[in-house]
Structure 1
Amino acid sequence: MDTEYHPATQSIGQPHLDPRCAIEIAPRIWWVGCYLDGDPFQCHAYLIEDGDQSVLLDPGSILTFAETRRKIELVLPFSSIRYFICHHPDPDIVSAISLFQDQITREDACVVTHWRAAALLKHYGWKMDFWLIEKHDWTLQLPHHTLQFVFTPYLHFPGAFCTFDSASGILFSSDIFGGFTSGFNLVASSEDYFESLRPFHEHYLPSREILQHGLNEIQRYPVRMIAPQHGSIIPENMVGFMIDKLKTLDCGLLTSARDGIDVLRLSRLNQVLRDITQVVILYRDLSDIIAALLDVIRRILPEARSLELWTDDQEGEWLRFSEHSHFRPTPDGKPSLAREMLGREGREWDQRYPKGYALVELDEQGEQADALLIALRNERNQTVNGLAILHFTGKPALTLEVDAIVRQITRPLQITIERELLYQSLERDKKRYYQQSIRDPLTGLFTRLYMDDAAKRLIAMHARNHEAGFGLVIFDVDRFKEINDQHGHLGGDDVLRNIARIIAAESRSVDIPVRFGGEEFAVFLAGGTETDGASFAERVCKEVGKLRFDGRLAQVRVTTSGGLAQHRPGEELDDLIERADQALYDAKRTGRNRIVIAGK
């Protein structure tokens, strides 16, 4: 039994939304849907709380309504609901009414819908009356809300409509803006959510023209939030972006079926094509993308064994991504397969391979094996700048479904490679910028910013394990001001660089050498004893004393003084620094060019 406490209600602004709660998406407007684990096509129900004139939008199905009703009654009595809005007659949205309609005792309860939906819904035999939106001037006036109905025919149903609440600015958008989601994602977190909208709209809605008509109608209203039946709620900052992107989609995917493909095969193919898109959306690592793509492709081509990618890195080098390198880019020569076509215009490939691919035989470890070559193209100039090679365990049957897969997979693979190269470039930049942020540009030693974090880790380790002690040495260049005054800052910088080089050379990989400030350096000596620290400090002083310079610094002799303090369990960083600094002061006061141990 789950004994963990869960709140009954939440608000949409909370960081972690719980699908077991009724979630307030705007003042007195609630998500009361039922999350079905593992279902990428979640159905949402919404409640507008308005006393005994409350509204339930798209009640749900027999599978979901028990949970929806439980959530409703966390907010108000179910009997407070007068209006049940049904945006279309699909059973996942309306069939729940058959469960509860006999329990409704109020005579004014009604189903709000379009006449075209009512013509079908009447076959459920419900006792409630229909309240037809077109007969009420497309408006439902509540005590505290005005609901305006937006006619969006054929999206996806002839009598489809949306509901706009002028008080909150929420558009309850029915199927429009619906999407497939993985897990509970009630609110879209970024514009990437569009890629969850894309496959749903492409296959579920009839055409771009019809979709654009509906979107134009929606844009007549000041929409601040979109609450769809499926997918994720779209917040105000993404509303315009999603509308503009949806206007560019080619819908009616099922009309693109070729001759010879029956309905069942077309349905399977459509799922494969959609999942190919979803793979690129859901996964980031190239190895995960390739593995998932192979799983999808094998539904149509069970002989598919492996997939490797080649691309031009735009600097004259060819990179290979294969399972042998765990899909990390490996520099290689231009692949011999179709070598003469790489770097050429895409139309030349199309003339040679009208289907967009070529089936070839490869010599793999002395045996002939079949493989499919797929051209990858530069989006800007359409040159063939890459190659996907799909290897098989046996000769595949090249059906019309394979043609469709190749058409669908080419662009995602190109995007995947470009994204992988971008990720790796960003990772290199990130490491470089990080090093720049933690390294002093003059000496190459760590900065005080890094020192603070690293020292805290050493202190925490010492608190857990008293054997994990460490020491701190602070060095100061003796009479450095005189060097600067006589030889300028460039001369002083040269001295500091050379001393830093000595400190770095004497430090171990576990030590933390720091440019402490000005002519001061600090070294945290991990795991060492006081004797070890003193020996290290003496070596540094000795090596600094041996420094010789050329040019204008030829006559300069440099020494350094140091203060050593061993960390005490429980001691704060500032206290440790103060003790080492005091020891350094004592070294300066007693003659310089020496090491003093704190407390000695």
Structure 2
Amino acid sequence: MPQNGEVVDTEHAIEIAERVWWVGNYLEDDLFQCHTYLIEHGDQSVLIDPGSALTFPVTLRKVEEVTSFDHIRYFICHHQDPDITASLPRIDAMISRDDAVIVSHWRAVALLRHYGLKTPFWQIEEHDWQLDLGGRWLTFVLTPYLHFPGAFCTYDTRSRTLFSSDIFGGFTETWTLFARDERYFESIRAFHEHYMPGREILQHAMEKFDAMEIDTIAPQHGSMIPKPLVKFMINRLKGLECGLFMNSDQGESALRLHELNRLLAESADTIASSRNFREVAEGFLSAISHSLPVSRLEFRIRENGQQQIYFAASNEFRGVPMAINAADRALFREAERLPPGSHGCKKVVHGGSGEAMVIVPLKLRQGEGRVAVSLLSVGVDANISSALLAAIDRMSGPVSAALERELLFMELERERNAIYERSIRDALTGCYVRSYMQSTAERLLHTHNRIAEATVGVIFMDLDHFKQVNDTYGHLVGDEVLRHCGQAIRDTLRPMDVPVRYGGEEFVILTSPIEAAHLRLLTERLRAQIHRQRIPLEGGGVLQVTVSAGMAMHQQGERLEDFLARADRALYQAKARGRDQACMAETPTPYL
């Protein structure tokens, strides 16, 4: 097993403790290294934080160096973020055993269910926070709000390894598998000040860890912590001030920073991670109520001159359409007069009512003409300091995002997923439409420009002599040919590949990650699959079609239009050579 400072070969699985393996994927020039771990225990093996669609192919190769994938029964996901869970659909498709489960906390499971997996979930809180692998026990340690409400860590009692998820993570410019000395704490400090909500929450977790016998800390990010550094890192994190990264402006006093940190730490996790707006609203109210006696919290969104959407405890913050009356118009006019940015909220006294309201303007990016406000009902004599108003105003940003997210969910609930699918899918072929391809291609190329391993390939395909098919058999038969070809393409591709009907009888396939040799093989499989299609003709007989294809591999720094143009030229080269074949585009000179 590697010792502190020892050089290791990260191209292969590395045993870091007794039958505990690092099977992660080192990404060069990435400050945010993400790690996956394997506990090899016969047919009860465990894969911890499986990884993303980008990293899982390498992880799978390393797992197979140690044991068969089929020996893995438990897939532990410490949270729901895509850097550790985006590989679950692929894993779900690979699992062949009936007793395999995905292990997580119910809060993460509530979101992971949306992957639509067939593999069942095993919730740690329903199993007394422990798992018997058959002579080897894992225990689960709840670490709420680090970095989401259901966060937890996994402890292997045999090797005394703590799989700590985001806790003890670090930003690493020069990455090593194990932290070498106490100076590594500065990497941990930067990560925790940025990601963790507050000192008290972090200290609560550190007290738990301090009482445990830990030989190795294996975090999801950064470097592992060997036994000589464990106590040092725990003690340093106990007193670390977190949650201040976004709250300190030049000239702010320490007292104000602490007040802001306390308010934001109490509510930021709920606001940022909850999909339930009611939880967001109640967390917002709870945080403010520590410093201000609030009797009522409301959210109002003016959609137009006559209609508003109203959120309050009386409707469980679900949002109800309401008419706008004269008093509402006055509130919206007041909100529109408030300045944007810091100190935008204002206390307004209602004459003779014995009540005052703090009007907090909320900033929505979508919806022209929308005006959104949060209203906090307080006593007329309530003393509201400028620092507290500033804290409330700063909290309005995350609240605005949560409110806008809730509006989007409401709209999607009305529209339903089928409408969205129809908007991005070609009805005839089932492939994506051309407009969808643009944003997807730009995202893939942006990733490849940053990460060399995230290679991108493209295939341009054109049905040979398709005009002759339409002229001879009619457009109905032509449509049937396109339908068969679209189905054949979708059946051949991986879930992460993007098939697009580019126009007429032309298709484009974006695929990543992929190497040039595999791109050639994929193209040949597609060509053969389309050639095998048999389209029945009216009156008997069948029709066969062939396809010509052009391929290209993206070069880092290459523009999208140049990338696609190379594949298009390769397609015409295939046609010029007699059709029913594929050509690979040459690498342009500037990228050789």
Q: Return the TM-score normalized by structure 2.
A: 0.41
Name the larger-Rg structure: 1
